[in-house]
Amino acid sequence: MAAPKSHVLRNGQTVQVESSTLVVGDVVVIKMGDVVPADMLVLEAVDLKANEAMLTGEPTDISKSTVAKDPSASFLSNMLYSGTSVVSGHGKAEVLDTGMRTQVGLIAKRLGAERSVTAKNPLAASVNKLGTALAICLVVVILLAATIAFQTGYQDPARPCDAGDRACFFKNSFLRAVIMAVALIPHGIPIVCTVMLRVGAMEMAKLNGLTMKMSAVDYLSATTVICTDKTGTLTEGKMTGAALMGAVHDPSKGATAKLAESSLSFYPLKGLCPNGGLFSDLNMTEEHRKQMDKIFDGKEVRQSFAQPGLPDLALPDDMTSHSNTLDAMMARAHLSCGFLTCYGTKLARDAKTGVWETTGNMTEGALKVAAAKGGYWDDEGAGHALHSTCVRLSDMEVPFTSDRKMMATVHALPENHRVESLQFASDYTHFAILKGAPDRLVDKLGSVLDVSDGALHLPGRSMNDVDRASVKKHNSHLAHQALRSILLALRPLSAADLDKMKACSSADDRLAVILGEPTKVVFLSLWGIYDPPRTSVPPSVKRCHEAGIQVVMITGDQPDTATAIGKKIGVICEGDDPDIRTALCSELHEPMCQRRVSGTGLWNSRRASETLKSLEQLQRGSKAGYGGKHRGSKRLSVHDVRGRNDATEPEYRSEEVLAEITQRVRCFARAQPTDKVAIVESLKAQNNIVAMTGDGVNDAPALKSAHVGVSMGIAGTAVTHQASDLVLLDDNFSTIVSAIQEGRRIYNNAQKYVAANLSLKFGEMVSILISIGFGVVAPINPTPQLLNLLVTHIISTFCFAFEVAEPYIMKVPPRSLKDDFVISRTQILFRVVPFVIYFPAVVYASLCFGMLSQVGTADNHAIIGTSMVLDLASGKTICERAGWEREGEYKLDARPFHCRCKVSKGGMPSGDIDEFDQWGSGHMEVSGNPIINKDMFSLSRSVWKGEANRFVEPCKGNRDMWCWRDDVEEFSRPVLPSGISCGEYGVKYGQSMALFTIMTGEMLSLMSFRTDGFFIYHLFQNKFYLLTLACQLFITFQIIFNPSLSSLLDVVALERIHLAAAGTFALCLVVLNELAKVLFRVRLAALNQELEKQALALSHSEVKSVEV
């Protein structure tokens, strides 16, 4: 891609250079179509205009001049700003700032303030806390288990240590403890939580919330405050004219007579649809409205809604028949002038969808739709004729800016000096239509229309204080109806006035000419524009309040309008004092405080330096008068030291004062982009988790500052999308609430996962710890335990990400981040602890069932065997081992030479017992079930040849212990080979039953942990769980019945009766889990009842500091 280039004056010649090489002091030649390469001071301007929408959000073009008309403005008229585009004219400008010192760079500076790379989202921080607690627990478990195993001499029956081999004892004890602890580590928590957040992001996308960062899912679940725009987010963004008010003077009643007022209303109001009428408020009733709703046809462009005694004043026929009435004359004047001043906005119907759409400014769209209801269309009828007779002078226009809050268009008068019902004096050739905010324009008014001879004459009678107060009263009345108000005024212009305007070099100069003679500025109409709240917003705000989330509306409207909208959508609750809940954003600013400025232009030309110096003097002069000291600390980002370019931004009050304001206020009016940053920073400083919405480039810093930046997918810019964490594809506030619910669902499921995971792991740990402490066979060996860890504890638990939300999650306050371990105390006491208690009992029941039926005991020491001559006969052991005496020491053989097992004939431990003996043979190789092949190990068929004392005898040094005879060679000692003794087989059988119970029982327990309610109602809701259940059962059966896998994992195939018993024990886990959940639900219901009260109380209280 080619680098952007600029034309620069060098040595008196115009040369082209790369824009990146520009330096302060360069003089750049600018023309239409150029993108401004740096922040520059205008030196020459010939009809120079720039579009600064990327900085201001205003779509209108700004005229540029060599003199700044308003030094206190945020963006000066004698400056060109980097990144903006030149739309007309040409000129020269001197570079003042480049790169990060430009206005765009200032935004980039705030956007560049990334969160710390070490900062973690709430869930990650909570997981870390949990991990730290578990790490301490692991150390304790390792030390405890190793100590107990070493002190009690606990051994693995399959691989016992030689007698006296303390190193072997210590090694095995430590390894057993480590393996147990490794199984306790929640390896799956990070990956499962990551999967959950990703699934949450996918679900949000289905709800029209595009997640740009996965952390947004988690932050939304903990959000305590939502700061939101009004237009297009809380409202439909489809403004439509709802009310019209005008006032005229009747000369026949005397010069001091009260003004005759005309109050009109549009109905039906169907967004941008022009099918509606205009009626007198005095005559229209609720019954009339119902009748209009009945006959309304959305497919029609315009119907007649006139009824007996109620003429449709916007319908041309009714206008004509009632042309002499005041309401009819005012209606034509309102609609025609509103039509002329909104030339840049178009109204059209989509050919495919049939939906009416406007292009251009939304407020002008409302006037355009209203004019269309009166038959004023751009390309036909009265509107086309009006454009032809009242030609607009584009070069005389005064565009709208956020600073002046008004605009003006200039039009030629027809020969008869009449525009619809408006009659101008004969000495005027043109007229200007002023349109703007009433609070800015009402004080500029100087006259009211005169009505006589079937026309409205201007200029009319001078406006007095009573008249002006009446206009303000009506403006306040509209605001209290949640209507945005726009004031239209007329200014007749003579040829001399027009010449003065042509001589002006800027829009501000032209506006000064228009407003220069107040007696000629005539009040025409006050429009009430309705932007209906989205039907889904009031219920969504109510849901936020029920969830303990505060909603703060930030709007550019006047306070009364903000209050009315706030009440209508529920941001201001019933019983709240509107004066407390609503505030102007100017309350956030220090009164008349001079900004701290850093940096000077050392390399500017003398002319530029003098201009900058004069601007700084003017700025200081306009802000003089504040000499007090700041109260409180100023550590927020909005309190930073600014440079020359942002010196015009307001100085914000201290943290403490900002906190006082943001705690009580729900509706901020007349907001600027930097005010949003101050509000967000203040709320964050009070430890709130803040979500912030925005659409313009200037909103990007506020979005970046918030924990969750939410941009508009339709109205938002690319910069805001990149700065945000969540994009609302439908620009709807309700989507944020749905996203919060999704975030809470994910967190709640994460809690369930952690509860289930810790229950399974601690259950297994306690089971093994019991085996070590009580000297019984461990229910599961290390290798199967690690396999179960992967299959059940990690892969299968992904199903929690897909669980539906519990009904209470949006009726409790946001979770407290202080000491949050993901899992709650209630879950630990009523879910984890009971499971850890009954899990070992069930598992050992399964283990003992198998071992008692196969070997007659579950005692670990009995299975390993002893060398004592009388232990087998007395029932203390089932296996006998022999040793030898050398140099006064007794060395015990690792393998038994004789075992006596008790096998249940029917498979039930309580059934008839079949007792048999196994005698060792050093050369016999047998695979499979040694119990089935018991005859091969009988005393008569083995090398013992029916003599029990053929190879062993009581030791000479200790007659109570067995020793090998002296003539028995070491390599030919007849011991039972590894894995062949009935004792070892019984251990494998019991552990196989326990493994089946553990794997199946844990998988079925996950089904119970998935929901707080009775699991049977949710059994088939989670398809991923059903899939993992089927896969896990398949794996379990393969482990038990596949010979290659079973031999690898030291398990054996189970008989049907034992398989059924192991399955029954697994089901017992589910039953016991459900019984424990009964108490859990009782406790949870009581807890949620208290939390619901807290959440509702929060919606009627101030935004309090949140402990995190």
The answer to whether 74 touches 116, Cβ cutoff 8 Å, is no
- Weakest mean pLDDT among 164-178, 391-405, 651-665, 774-788: 164-178
306, 310, 314, 315 alpha-carbon torsion, rounded to 10°? 40
DSSP-derived secondary structure letter, 789: I
Provide the pLDDT for residue 604: 67
pLDDT-derived band at 497 (thresholds 50, 70, 90) equals very high
Q: Give 965-1023 pLDDT, tens digit per residue.
A: 988 887 788 888 877 788 888 899 999 999 999 999 999 999 999 999 998 888 888 89
Cα distance between residue 326 and residue 110, in whole Å: 55
The answer to whether 435 touches 406, Cβ cutoff 8 Å, is yes
Provide the pLDDT for residue 550: 92
Q: Give 1027-1048 pLDDT, tens digit per residue.
A: 999 999 999 999 999 998 988 8
Q: Region 363-388: what's the mean pLDDT? A: 90
Residue 1099: strand, helix, or coil = coil
Alpha helices in 855-981 (DSSP H): 860-864, 871-874
Residue 656: strand, helix, or coil = helix
pLDDT-derived band at 148 (thresholds 50, 70, 90) equals confident
How many other C-beta atoms are found inside a 10 Å radius of the C-beta of residue 10?
11
Tokens standing for 1049? Answer: 């994992």
Nearest to 278 by CA among 433, 269, 454: 269
Cα distance between residue 100 and residue 102, in whole Å: 5
* Residue 633, CA distances (Å) to 221, 652, 658, 659, 990 in order: 31, 11, 11, 11, 70
Cα distance between residue 587 and residue 658, in whole Å: 9
Cα distance between residue 78 and residue 807, in whole Å: 59
Residue 190 has pLDDT above 70, yes or no: yes
Residue 18: strand, helix, or coil = strand
Residue 247 has pLDDT above 70, yes or no: yes
pLDDT-derived band at 119 (thresholds 50, 70, 90) equals low
Residue 1102 has pLDDT above 70, yes or no: no
DSSP assignment string, 543-597: HHHHTT-EEEEE-SS-HHHHHHHHHHHTSSPTT--HHHHEEEGGGGBPTTPPPPE
The answer to whether 211 touches 217, Cβ cutoff 8 Å, is yes
How many other C-beta atoms are found inside a 10 Å radius of the C-beta of residue 287?
9
Cα Rg of the chain (Å, integer): 43
What is the β-pairing status of strands 690-694 and 667-669? unpaired
Residue 308 preceded by cis peptide, ω within 30: no
Provide the pLDDT for residue 412: 95
Of residues 288 and 61, more confidence is placed in 288
The answer to whether 280 touches 266, Cβ cutoff 8 Å, is no
| Orientation of helix 982-1009 relative to helix 1023-1041, angle to 10° | 180
Provide the pLDDT for residue 630: 46
* Residue 1032, CA distances (Å) to 190, 778, 797, 988, 999 in order: 22, 23, 11, 21, 8
Alpha helices in 623-732 (DSSP H): 655-664, 673-685, 700-705, 718-723
pLDDT-derived band at 928 (thresholds 50, 70, 90) equals low
Q: Region 838-847: what's the mean pLDDT? A: 95
Cα distance between residue 344 and residue 489, in whole Å: 19
Provide the pLDDT for residue 324: 75
Residue with tokens 């000495």: 427
C-beta pairs of 374-383 under 8 Å, 24+ apart in sequence: 374/278, 374/314, 374/315, 374/316, 374/319, 374/331, 374/332, 374/335, 374/336, 374/339, 375/302, 375/314, 375/315, 375/316, 376/335, 376/336, 376/339, 377/347, 378/346, 382/316, 382/336, 383/339
The answer to whether 199 touches 801, Cβ cutoff 8 Å, is yes
Provide the pLDDT for residue 647: 57
Cα distance between residue 1011 and residue 189, in whole Å: 19
Q: Which residues contact 299 (CB under 8 A, 6 or more apart)?
A: 354
Tokens standing for 606? Answer: 């003398």
Per-chain mean pLDDT for the chain: 85
* Residue 859, CA distances (Å) to 49, 536, 848, 881 in order: 94, 67, 10, 16
Provide the pLDDT for residue 617: 60
Residue 827 has pLDDT above 90, yes or no: yes
Provide the pLDDT for residue 513: 93
Backbone angles phi and psi of 698, in degrees to 5: -70, -15
Residue 783 has pLDDT above 60, yes or no: yes
Q: Give 591-636 pLDDT, tens digit per residue.
A: 755 444 334 455 667 667 767 666 666 555 544 433 444 456 777 7
Of residues 138 and 179, more confidence is placed in 138
The answer to whether 518 touches 442, Cβ cutoff 8 Å, is no
Provide the pLDDT for residue 188: 81
Provide the pLDDT for residue 551: 93
Nearest to 585 by CA among 603, 562, 616: 562
Q: Give 1054-1069 pLDDT, tens digit per residue.
A: 999 999 999 999 999 9
Tokens standing for 355? Answer: 């939906």
The beta strand positions in 864-941, using DSSP E, are 879-880, 883-886, 889-892, 898-904, 913-919
pTM of the model: 0.77
Residue 817: strand, helix, or coil = coil
Of residues 695 and 390, more confidence is placed in 390
Q: Give 644-670 pLDDT, tens digit per residue.
A: 555 556 788 888 999 999 999 999 988
Q: Give 204-215 pLDDT, tens digit per residue.
A: 999 899 998 888
- Weakest mean pLDDT among 379-383, 753-757, 1080-1084: 379-383
What is the β-pairing status of strands 225-228 and 550-554? parallel
Tokens standing for 152? Answer: 């009690």
Provide the pLDDT for residue 600: 45
Of residues 710 and 670, more confidence is placed in 710
- Weakest mean pLDDT among 561-575, 710-724, 828-842, 900-914: 710-724
Residue 1079 has pLDDT above 60, yes or no: yes
Mind spelling out the 3-state secondary structure of 329-369? HHHHHHHHHHHHHCCCCEEEECCCCCCEEEECCHHHHHHHH
